[in-house]
A and B are shown apart, each in its own frame.
Chain A
Amino acid sequence: MSFDTEEASLSEPPRKVQIPSAILMSQKAWSLIREETLRAGKKETGGVLVGCRVTYDSKPFLVVVAASGAGSKADRQLYTYAPEVEALQQALDQVCQDYLQKGVRVDYIGEWHKHPKGMTYLSREDIKQGQTILTDPDYNLEYGEIILPIATLAGKNSLSFGWLFGQSDDQPTGQPDGQESPPNGKGKDVVELHTYYLSQLHPEALELELMIWEEGALDNLLAEVSLLQSS
């Protein structure tokens, strides 16, 4: 079987890339996002997401292996936030290098940021910022797609949808091994994470399903897919 390994160019029309079935996020990345969100209080914060696209059981997924915080020099205010670019770059380079050692290529795959309570969707300006990134040839967006998760605090005893850091033996039927199921979050501060997807073909935000995976399971998946592709 042959593979299309041509480098994408933004001067070319966008490729017809299948919308991912879901976002697979490492527990470590999710834990960092959750802790950063809780620590930020009422102010906004965020960070970079590092990962790649994989095909698993004939379905496309976007894998997030790592997330960063905003950096100590980030501009964090009530309704706006600008990350410290140098800190994000350092985090991105480090993760890319670490995964290079494992024989897997990962890169910038998007950015997460926190919103005030109740605003679980991207603002118009967020979408515009995302579209600017999508059309910037300096970003290595081979498939012209990014994910822009929004984290919000839902408060204690919230019954709204949320993902909490933790383990669960209750694996939903038909989902890959190592995936964490969403607990109800009763009695704890709940951080909601809504994962939005933008691409050159779909410039308006689509919310995708999020699955939290253990590090080991996710690394095994990447190694397996990597081996298959090299064989």
Chain B
Amino acid sequence: MHHTKHPDDPFVTPVAGRVNCTRLKPTRWYAAWHELDPQRLSFERKAMANKFPSFHMHRMQDGRLAWSGTLQSNRGNAYKILLVYPVQFPYKPPLVYPIEPTIEAFDPGTDKYKHQYPDGHLCLYFPGDRDFDVKTTAATVVAVSAAWFFAYESWLESGRREWPGPEVDHNRR
């Protein structure tokens, strides 16, 4: 067999002494849920189009998908929210962040946030409260968020004393 060497190919080179190999760095490889399961993405889009047609889907800089839109409460208040699908969706629920107005459900009585995490996202699916299922769509999560805002307004009206509906003692966890 005829072999030729190529002037643009010095890779295979006789070497002497110690080779300085590449120093590797930490890497992470992952596939987004919507790439793995395009049908689920289609299902999510349909559910949102049916229940919340004014919401829009976005792709965030880190690659996660999100919905944004505005909810209107019975009291006439508008809440703009951002629903972000986690990397582990549908095994973990989407996170819902109030965008406008700024919501800080701080409870001076306990010196803690009331059903809200320090980064601002709402506590919707605390274990033992409402169970998130792998079949739960973003549309359901948005509906649960609307219920959260209703409870939040009631809580404000009570002078930040009484949150309507069942609650889990967050201090236990």
Pair A58/B21 contact, Cβ less than 8 Å: no
Q: Could you tell me the distance between the alpha carbons of A21 and B23 in the complex, rounded to whole angstroms?
A: 28
A97-B19, A129-B29 known; A104+B12 contact, CB < 8 A: yes
Q: Could you tell me the distance between the alpha carbons of A218 and B88 in the complex, rounded to whole angstroms?
A: 41
Interface size class of B (residues with CB under 8 A): 35 or more
Return B8 CB to nearest CB of chain A, in Å.
6
Q: Could you tell me the distance between the alpha carbons of A124 and B7 in the complex, rounded to whole angstroms?
A: 35
Q: Could you tell me the distance between the alpha carbons of A139 and B28 in the complex, rounded to whole angstroms?
A: 16
Flag B3-17 by CB within 8 Å of A: 1 or 0 each: 111111111111101
- Interface of chain B, main secondary structure: loop
- Interface stretch of the complex, out of A27-35, A76-84, A160-168: A76-84
Cβ-closest chain B residue relative to A92: B21
B141 at the interface (CB under 8 A from A): no
| Chain B positions within 8 Å of A140 at CB level | 20-22
Q: Could you tell me the distance between the alpha carbons of A229 and B12 in the complex, rounded to whole angstroms?
A: 8
Number of contacting residues on A, CB 8 A? Answer: 68
Pair B6/A58 contact, Cβ less than 8 Å: yes
| Chain A positions within 8 Å of B33 at CB level | 79
Pair A4/B36 contact, Cβ less than 8 Å: no
Pair A123/B7 contact, Cβ less than 8 Å: no
Pair B3/A56 contact, Cβ less than 8 Å: yes
A173 at the interface (CB under 8 A from B): no
A226 at the interface (CB under 8 A from B): yes
- Interface of chain A, main secondary structure: mixed
| Chain A positions within 8 Å of B27 at CB level | 82-83, 85, 111, 129, 133
Pair A123/B30 contact, Cβ less than 8 Å: yes
A196 at the interface (CB under 8 A from B): no
List CB contacts (< 8 Å) of A119-148 with chain B.
Answer: 119, 123-126, 128-129, 133, 136, 138-143
Pair A79/B15 contact, Cβ less than 8 Å: no
Return A82 CB to nearest CB of chain B, in Å.
4
| Chain A positions within 8 Å of B5 at CB level | 1, 55, 225, 228-229
Pair A226/B24 contact, Cβ less than 8 Å: no
Q: Could you tell me the distance between the alpha carbons of A30 and B14 in the complex, rounded to whole angstroms?
A: 26
List CB contacts (< 8 Å) of A1-30 with chain B.
Answer: 1-5, 15, 17-18
Return A78 CB to nearest CB of chain B, in Å.
8
Cβ-closest chain A residue relative to B91: A78
B101 at the interface (CB under 8 A from A): no
Pair A124/B22 contact, Cβ less than 8 Å: no
Q: Could you tell me the distance between the alpha carbons of A139 and B27 in the complex, rounded to whole angstroms?
A: 13
Return B126 CB to nearest CB of chain A, in Å.
23
A52 at the interface (CB under 8 A from B): yes
| Chain A positions within 8 Å of B4 at CB level | 55, 57-58, 228
Chain A residues packing against B (C-beta within 8 Å): 1-5, 15, 17-18, 44, 46, 48, 52-58, 60, 75, 78-83, 85, 88-89, 92-93, 96-97, 99-100, 103-105, 107-108, 111, 113, 115-116, 118-119, 123-126, 128-129, 133, 136, 138-143, 176, 222, 224-226, 228-230
What are 13 A-B residue pairs whose CB atoms fall within 8 Å in the complex?
A4-B8, A44-B29, A55-B6, A57-B1, A79-B31, A82-B27, A85-B24, A85-B27, A119-B31, A128-B63, A139-B22, A141-B22, A229-B14
